[in-house]
Amino acid sequence: MNLNRGPGLITILTDFGEDDWFVASMKGVIASLAPRARMIDITHRVPPGDIRRGGLALRCAYRCFPPGTVHLAVVDPGVGTERGVLAARAGGYVFVAPDNGLLSWILREEKDRTVFRAEKRELFLPEISTTFHGRDVFAPLAGRLAAGLPVEETGPPHPEPVIFTPPLLRSRGEGCWEAEIIGRDRFGNCLTSLTREAAGDGGAAELILTAGDRDLRLPFADCYGAVEDGGLLAVWGSCGFLELAVNGGSAARELGLADGERITLRLRR
């Protein structure tokens, strides 16, 4: 098998941080198997073991890359256990990840998908530790795929991968939804589960946010700077989700909203 028949492009997303040798070790393995492959980091600052946050980051980034890109994602608190290893083709991309829900957004949203349980021992490193499958299992698999290995040759079809229940989004009448906070970015913007597609955005002027026993009125803006410094606002974010934000500040800190917290959103025109 000619591992170098194409240059390949691999993105890497982990919760490994940047203080240790973990990410560099993975890149070294990939470079050994696919020396012509380019590697691009999505992020290595997913909170440790936070599968849902890692999956959201992957969902927001993967479509920015050219078709055929191999997306390698490792947020793997179950490393060393019997959890499976996935190789999937979806939406014109290839994904490598643990079978723990990390690919939930992709496998829910991409209808054209095939998923395989990567079980062929020869695709991994000769020695596999029980604590670093990112280096010993996932990196060599991604390298071989980027170099031309067909995803179908990684193992048997896997029709029932772990997919998390979608975030809460329930219509409560025209312009009103029960929703939840699905994540926060480093600026403190809170992403909600309401998408622009679901809302059928018709130019809302105001958002009424109910969180616990609080009702807050937020202006609907086109960008963060459309309100005064320190002002709360609602905006359609770059990933298509409704965001709660503070111009020049942190909505997560000001509103005290946690990931998974249930909220009610009313759009007023």
Strand partners, 217: 208
**Contact between 181 and 243 (Cβ < 8 Å):** no
- As separate numbers, helices (DSSP H) first and strands (DSSP E) second, the chain gives 7, 14
- Measured torsion, CA atoms of residues 30, 34, 38, 39, in degrees rounded to the nearest 10: -10
**91 vs 205, residue with greater confidence:** 91
pLDDT tens digit sequence for 18-76: 999 999 999 999 999 999 999 999 999 999 999 999 999 999 999 999 999 999 999 99
Smallest CA-to-CA distance from 59 within 150, 166, 178 is with: 166
**Contact between 67 and 94 (Cβ < 8 Å):** no
**What are the start and end residues of each CATH 2.40.30.90 domain in the chain?**
170-268
Which pLDDT does position 216 carry in this prediction? Answer: 95
Which pLDDT does position 1 carry in this prediction? Answer: 32
CA angle 211, 214, 215 (to 5 degrees): 95
**Contact between 189 and 237 (Cβ < 8 Å):** yes
**Cα–Cα distance, 130 to 262 (Å, whole number):** 37
pLDDT tens digit sequence for 183-214: 999 999 999 999 999 998 667 789 999 998 89
CA angle 129, 130, 131 (to 5 degrees): 95
Smallest CA-to-CA distance from 46 within 151, 247, 183 is with: 183
**Cα–Cα distance, 142 to 149 (Å, whole number):** 9
**What are the start and end residues of each CATH 3.40.50.10790 domain in the chain?**
9-154
Name the fold adopted by 170-268.
Elongation Factor Tu (Ef-tu); domain 3 (2.40.30)
Name the fold adopted by 9-154.
Rossmann fold (3.40.50)
Q: What is the mean pLDDT of the chain?
A: 94
Q: Which pLDDT band holds residue 3 (cuts at 50, 70, 90)?
A: very low
pLDDT tens digit sequence for 235-267: 999 999 999 999 999 999 999 999 999 999 999
User: What value does the mean pLDDT take over residues 111-121?
Assistant: 96
Amino acid at 78: G
pLDDT at position 106 over 60: yes
